[in-house]
Amino acid sequence: MKLIRYEYPQMPSAGSLNRLFDLGMPTVERFGGLIDDLFGSEASLNQPAVDLYEDDHNFFARMELPGVKKNVIELELENAVLTCSGNYSEKTKDTETDYSFQRSISVPDGVALDRVSADCEDGVLTIKMPKKDASKSRQILVK
């Protein structure tokens, strides 16, 4: 069984933090860029973590989607690319916050695209991609 782990974006060295003190009081634009350097840009924050693995009969993709309900998850399979996305909002006493996520993965060769299925339980989406049946050789009789 192969396992490919999602690698979170690496935090840059302390050079970004040092720039904060070297520049004196940064402007709002500089400070925003500095925060992006330290903690990753917004684009990296809305991509769910994915584990890819396989067994003898299937490939699997497992995405962590904590707090996301099944009805907001959209899966699309096009040109051997599987895209998982969704939009939802959370309401608190005073505010409503909108969230969105999207993650695309390449579907391995040898997948029976018409039999791909998904299941979401406890904030973990598991996508099952069955392997195509291996074509068996057959003997051809020459007449």
Residues in the chain: 143
Give me the pLDDT at residue 26, please.
Answer: 46
pLDDT digits (tens, 9 = 90+) for 60-81: 999 988 888 889 999 999 888 8
Strands, sheet with 58-64, edge to edge from the N-terminal-most edge strand:
3-4, 50-54, 58-64, 124-130, 117-121
**Burial of residue 43, with CB atoms counted within 10 A of its CB: 0-12 exposed, 13-18 middle, 19 or more buried:** exposed
Distance CA 2, CA 4 (A): 7
Q: Where in the chain is CATH 2.60.40.790?
A: 57-131
Q: Which two tokens stand for residue 107?
A: 């579907």
pLDDT digits (tens, 9 = 90+) for 5-49: 655 554 454 455 555 555 554 444 445 555 555 555 444 457 888
Based on its alpha-carbon atoms, the radius of gyration of the chain, rounded to whole angstroms, reads 22
Segment among 22-26, 44-48, 96-100, 121-125 with least mean pLDDT: 22-26
**Choices 2.160.10.10, 3.30.70.141, 1.10.3720.10, 2.60.40.790: CATH for 57-131:** 2.60.40.790
Percent pLDDT > 90 in the chain is 25
Q: Which two tokens stand for residue 103?
A: 């993650």
Give me the pLDDT at residue 16, please.
Answer: 54
Is it the case that residue 130 has pLDDT exceeding 90?
A: yes
Give me the pLDDT at residue 36, please.
Answer: 53
Local structure of residue 111 (DSSP, 8 states): B
Give me the pLDDT at residue 136, please.
Answer: 64
